[in-house]
Structures are given as C-alpha cells and as structure tokens.
Amino acid sequence: MIPSILPTYNRAPLNFVKGEGSWLIEEDGRRYLDLGAGIAVNCLGHAAPPLVDALAEQAGQLWHTSNLYGIPKQQALADKLVANTFADTVFFTNSGTESCELAVKMARKYFHDKGQPERVDIITFAGSFHGRSSAGIAAAGSEKMTHGFGPLLPGFVHLPFADHDAIAPAITDTTAAILVEPVQGEGGINVLPDVCLKGLRDLCDEHGLLLIFDEVQCGVGRTGKLFAHEWSGIAPDIMMVAKGIGGGFPLGCVLATEDAASGMTAGTHGSTYGGNPLGCAVGCKVMDIVSDRDFLADVGRKAGLFRQKLEGLVASHPEVFEEVRGAGLMLGLKCVVPNTEVVAAGLAEQVLTVGAGDNVVRLLPALNIPDGDILEAISRLDAAASALKGGGDAAV
C-alpha cells in the first residue's frame, strides 16, 4: 500500500523535533551535529534568535496579502539585494526551481522583445542541478531526473563540465544564454575556477548572450562572499537565489540587470506567495547579518579551519577519503568507499552529512557554526571513518 506521504524520498530513520544552532534533537533527546543545514538552507543555524524574532514579529502583524498590493518587507529586501549585488531588480519566489523557471522565461523574453525570437536555447553543463520543475530537469538534463517525464521542455543544450573549448562551437544563432552554478552542489561540490567564470562572461559578451548564474546553493555567504561569483570579479546578467536567503523559511528570488529584465513587464510573470511578508521579514534579517563584512570574513576564517582539519582527516584515512574540495563552507569529501556508507557511518556517530554526485559527501554547516562544533565534527567524522575501515589511526 502506498504510504500516506508520496514515497519519492529515501529518508534516514531520524525524526527531529527541535534545533539549536548546529544541533538537531530527536524526541528522546539524542543530539546530532548538523553539517547539512537542511541542504545549505539554515545558514544561521537552527532557531537563530534574530530570525525567530523577525518571523514572530511579522506573524503577529500580517502573514499574506498577495502581490495585488505593495508589501513593505518585500520592498525592503529587494532594496537590500540591489544595494549589495550587481542587480538592478528582483523578483521573489518560494524555491530554487521557481527561480529557474523565471530565469529561463526572462532570457527568452529578452530576445523575443529584442526582435530575435529564434534565440531560445540555453547552454547548461553536466552535473548541474536546477531543481525538479519541468524547466529545472530539462535544464540539468540528467537521465536520473528526466527519465519517464517526457516530453521535456525544449531549448537546452548540454555540454561537459568545465570544458571551455566545447562552449564556443556550441553557440549558434538560436543561443540565448549560458546557465551555470559557480560551485556545483548536487553534482559533487565542483568549483568552477574564476578563470572559467571570466571566460563565460567574455563569451557571452562576444556573442550577445545572457549569463545566468544559479547561486541557489553557493550563494548567501556560503563561500565567504555574499555571492560566489564575486570572487571572480565578474557578474552575471541574471542570478537564481533560494536556500540560504530564507534561513529556513521558504524563500527564493531572481536578480537581474535592468537590461536583462527589460522584457518582464506587468502581467508577464507572477506568484501568489512569492515575496510574502513572512518570508521577506526573515530574508531582510538574513541579509542584514550575512552581508556584513565581518560576518563574511568570519565565514572565511571558519572555512579555513574546517578545511585544514579535513585535509588532516583525509590524510589519516586514505582508504575512506580521496580529497577535500569546495569553497568556503561549501565543502565536499570525495570518497573512496561509497559515499552512502560514509553518510551512514556519520549517522552512527551522530553527525549529519549530505551525499552528492561523483561519490562526494557534502559538508554545508551553518555559516556561524562555532569553532568548537567544527572540531567536534572532525572528531565524529574521524570516528566514522575509523569504524568504516574497522579501526585505525586518529586524525586529530
């Protein structure tokens, strides 16, 4: 008999009822150190007091009015995003894949309105992930996500990851945009080097294409800059955001330059919940905290500490781990043994990690994880790795 919840998830047999910072707690009081943060969502940890206060205050005033009326907190959040990024304008969604939907529509409408309606194709890369909507799965194009769901939304051209020489020959009269994650998350924490991002910007400029970044996972402070592409010194025309921007409240957005957004006039797109007062109240607080220079510098410092300790862990357990990869607090352990075994061994040590493609285990802790919890994480991962190889040397 089908379960009462549609069985699309492979869940771990854990049921958390409370969260505190980097810890998740089961009904019986068992505590787990959370290095997944709800898949890079709870950027300030669980039940972060400033976010609880922002949400509670808004909840006592107004929950929802729809976009038929002005929403002051939405305006405030848009202004903060515009002030802190390349963007001139923002549309609010409730999730990453909804941001993908608009990014695709915006790119096509741009060329339609410029009198080039044949330019509809968007170039994407192997290992990418853009969510589970019809546009999202067609954009990523992997068999695992698209099998059985045809006919797929047309207009996506899939290229190998980080093969710059393959891109220019793939650009034709019908190409509209290039869509890429500056750091691939689901694909296995693959960092696109700055020189590649610059190369993509140059190609787009040369051919009059729009450059779209998916920073749903790597954005909002995760790499130690507010957005990951800032390290490269170049900017996209359109950017998808979600996950961390709501700190745990469902919130996403699409950022764009005035030019890229020029086709999106009144009536061309909409969302009932997008930019609702509750989400935007929390989003404003997240932005206030995460866009602060000292906060971001501390993310970089914590990332340095974590990475150094992880390098030691890998060196002590070469039978389990191959390498550390990633940027900032978006880290991956490339595994020798199946990554599912590493995640399971972590559960036994009460430390939560997240599997990813390419046999990688993801570590995406809260951006404000205390240093002591980083050291605790290393000691639990060390115990997990030792258990996997049936005992062994301690890493720390």
Ligand X SMILES: *Cc1c(COP(=O)(O)O)cnc(C)c1O
- Give CA–CA dist 19/280, Å, rounded: 22
343's CB contacts (< 8 A; 6+ apart) are 353, 354, 355, 361
Contact map string, positions 37 to 76, toward ligand X, x by CB under 6 A? ----------------------------------------
Please, what is the minimum distance in Å from the beta carbon of residue 100 to ligand X? 6
Which of 214, 230, 237, 349: binder of ligand X (CB under 6 A)? 214
**Nearer to ligand X by C-beta: 330 or 345?**
330
Please, what is the minimum distance in Å from the beta carbon of residue 276 to ligand X? 16
**Nearer to ligand X by C-beta: 216 or 290?**
216
User: How many residues in the shown chain lie near ligand X by CB under 6 A?
Assistant: 14
Please, what is the minimum distance in Å from the beta carbon of residue 259 to ligand X? 24
Which of 181, 230, 349, 382: binder of ligand X (CB under 6 A)? 181
- Does residue 130 touch ligand X according to CB under 6 A? yes
- Give CA–CA dist 202/92, Å, rounded: 29
* 209 touches 175 (CB < 8 A): yes
- Does residue 279 touch ligand X according to CB under 6 A? no
Please, what is the minimum distance in Å from the beta carbon of residue 109 to ligand X? 21
Please, what is the minimum distance in Å from the beta carbon of residue 91 to ligand X? 15
- Does residue 129 touch ligand X according to CB under 6 A? yes
Please, what is the minimum distance in Å from the beta carbon of residue 316 to ligand X? 30
**Nearer to ligand X by C-beta: 210 or 241?**
241
Please, what is the minimum distance in Å from the beta carbon of residue 129 to ligand X? 5
395: left (phi over 0), alpha (psi -120 to 50) or beta: alpha
- Does residue 345 touch ligand X according to CB under 6 A? no
Which of 19, 131, 224, 279: binder of ligand X (CB under 6 A)? 131
Site residues for ligand X per CB under 6 A? 95-97, 129-131, 181, 185-186, 214, 216-217, 242-243
